[in-house]
Amino acid sequence: MHIDARTLENETIIEGDICIVGAGAAGISIALEFMNSPYKVILLEGGGFEYEERIQELYDGKTTGQPYYPIKSSELHYFGGTTGHWGGMCALFDPIAFQKRDWVDKSGWPITQETLLPYYERAHVYLEINVYEYNLEYWQKKDPSLVSIPFDKEWVWTKLWQFSKPTRFGTRYKETIVNAKNIHLYTYANMVDITSNENVSEIKTVTVKNYAGKTHRVSARYFVIACAGIQNARVLLAANKQAPKGIGNDNDLVGRYFMEHLELKSAELWVTQKSELKLYMNENPRVHGELAVMPKKQEEYQILNGIISFTALESKTPNYIKTWTNSDPRENLRSHPQPAYKALYHQVKDYFKSFNSDIKNNLHQAFQVTLRMEQAPNPLSRVTLSDEKDELGVPRASLNWSFTSMEKRSIRKNYEIIGQQAGASGFGRLKFLEELWDEKDDHVPSTTSGGWHHMGTTRMSDDPKNGVVDADCKVHGINNLFIAGSSCFTTGGGANPTFTLVALSIRLADHLKDIAIKK
Ligand X SMILES: Cc1cc2nc3c(=O)[nH]c(=O)nc-3n(C[C@H](O)[C@H](O)[C@H](O)COP(=O)(O)OP(=O)(O)OC[C@H]3O[C@@H](n4cnc5c(N)ncnc54)[C@H](O)[C@@H]3O)c2cc1C
Q: The dihedral of CA 119, 121, 123, 126: what is its sign?
A: negative
Residue nearest ligand X, CB atom distance: 24
State in angstroms the smallest separation of the CB of 56 from ligand X.
9
83 touches ligand X (CB under 6 A): yes
One character per residue 491-510, x = contact with ligand X (rule: CB under 6 A):
-----xxxx-x---------
For residue 429, the tally of other CB atoms under 10 A from its CB is 13
State in angstroms the smallest separation of the CB of 21 from ligand X.
5
Which residue type sits at 198? E
State in angstroms the smallest separation of the CB of 271 from ligand X.
27
Instruction: Pick one of 89, 406, 417, 506: the residue that binds ligand X (CB under 6 A).
Output: 89
Between the alpha carbon of residue 136 and those of residues 111, 157, 158, 425, 429, the distances in Å are: 25, 10, 8, 21, 25
State in angstroms the smallest separation of the CB of 68 from ligand X.
12
State in angstroms the smallest separation of the CB of 392 from ligand X.
9
Q: CA nearest 261: which of 497, 434, 25?
A: 497
Hey, is 477 helix, strand or coil?
Answer: coil
Which among 73-81, 105-113, 121-129, 302-310 is the span making contact with ligand X, rule CB under 6 A?
73-81
Site for ligand X in 176-195 (CB under 6 A): 190-191
377 touches ligand X (CB under 6 A): no
State in angstroms the smallest separation of the CB of 22 from ligand X.
3
Decide: 263 and 66 in contact? Cβ < 8 Å. no
By DSSP bridging, strand 203-209 and strand 215-219 are antiparallel
* DSSP 8-class letter at 36: T
457 touches ligand X (CB under 6 A): no
When the beta carbons of 86 and 432 are compared against ligand X, the nearer one is 86
The CA distance from 225 to 483, in Å, is 5
Instruction: Pick one of 44, 104, 397, 418: the residue that binds ligand X (CB under 6 A).
Output: 44
Q: CA nearest 498: which of 22, 124, 65?
A: 124
Instruction: Pick one of 45, 263, 268, 470: the residue that binds ligand X (CB under 6 A).
Output: 45
485 touches ligand X (CB under 6 A): yes
Between the alpha carbon of residue 50 and those of residues 47, 54, 332, the distances in Å are: 8, 12, 17
State in angstroms the smallest separation of the CB of 229 from ligand X.
6
State in angstroms the smallest separation of the CB of 494 from ligand X.
12
Which among 32-40, 69-77, 197-205, 368-376 is the span making contact with ligand X, rule CB under 6 A?
69-77
When the beta carbons of 83 and 421 are compared against ligand X, the nearer one is 83
236 touches ligand X (CB under 6 A): no
- Environment class of 77 (CB within 10 Å of its CB; exposed 0-12, middle 13-18, buried 19+): buried
State in angstroms the smallest separation of the CB of 165 from ligand X.
11
One character per residue 5-34, x = contact with ligand X (rule: CB under 6 A):
----------------xxxxxxx-------
Burial 4-40 (b: 16+ CB within 10 A, else e): ebeebeeeeebebbbbbbbbbbbbbbbbbbbeebebb
State in angstroms the smallest separation of the CB of 363 from ligand X.
28
The CA distance from 502 to 116, in Å, is 10
Which among 30-38, 40-48, 288-296, 371-379 is the span making contact with ligand X, rule CB under 6 A?
40-48
When the beta carbons of 367 and 489 are compared against ligand X, the nearer one is 489
State in angstroms the smallest separation of the CB of 76 from ligand X.
6
Beta-bridge mates of residue 312: 367
Instruction: Pick one of 453, 474, 476, 507: the residue that binds ligand X (CB under 6 A).
Output: 453
Between the alpha carbon of residue 216 and those of residues 9, 48, 205, 441, the distances in Å are: 9, 17, 10, 53
Q: CA nearest 455: which of 144, 232, 244?
A: 232
Helix, strand, coil in percent for the chain, rounding step 5: 30, 25, 45
Instruction: Pick one of 177, 235, 385, 418: the residue that binds ligand X (CB under 6 A).
Output: 235
Instruction: Pick one of 16, 61, 70, 81: the residue that binds ligand X (CB under 6 A).
Output: 81
- 167: Cβ contacts below 8 Å, ≥ 6 apart: 83, 88, 126, 127, 128
When the beta carbons of 22 and 246 are compared against ligand X, the nearer one is 22
Decide: 468 and 256 in contact? Cβ < 8 Å. no
The CA distance from 209 to 191, in Å, is 7
DSSP string across 376-443: ---TTSEEEEEEEE-TTSPEEEEEEE---THHHHHHHHHHHHHHHHHHHTTSEEEEE-GGGT-TT--P
State in angstroms the smallest separation of the CB of 208 from ligand X.
7
One character per residue 199-228, x = contact with ligand X (rule: CB under 6 A):
---------------------------xxx
Where along the sequence are the contacts to ligand X (CB under 6 A)? 21-27, 44-47, 74-79, 81-83, 85-89, 190-191, 226-228, 231, 235, 452-453, 485-486, 496-499, 501
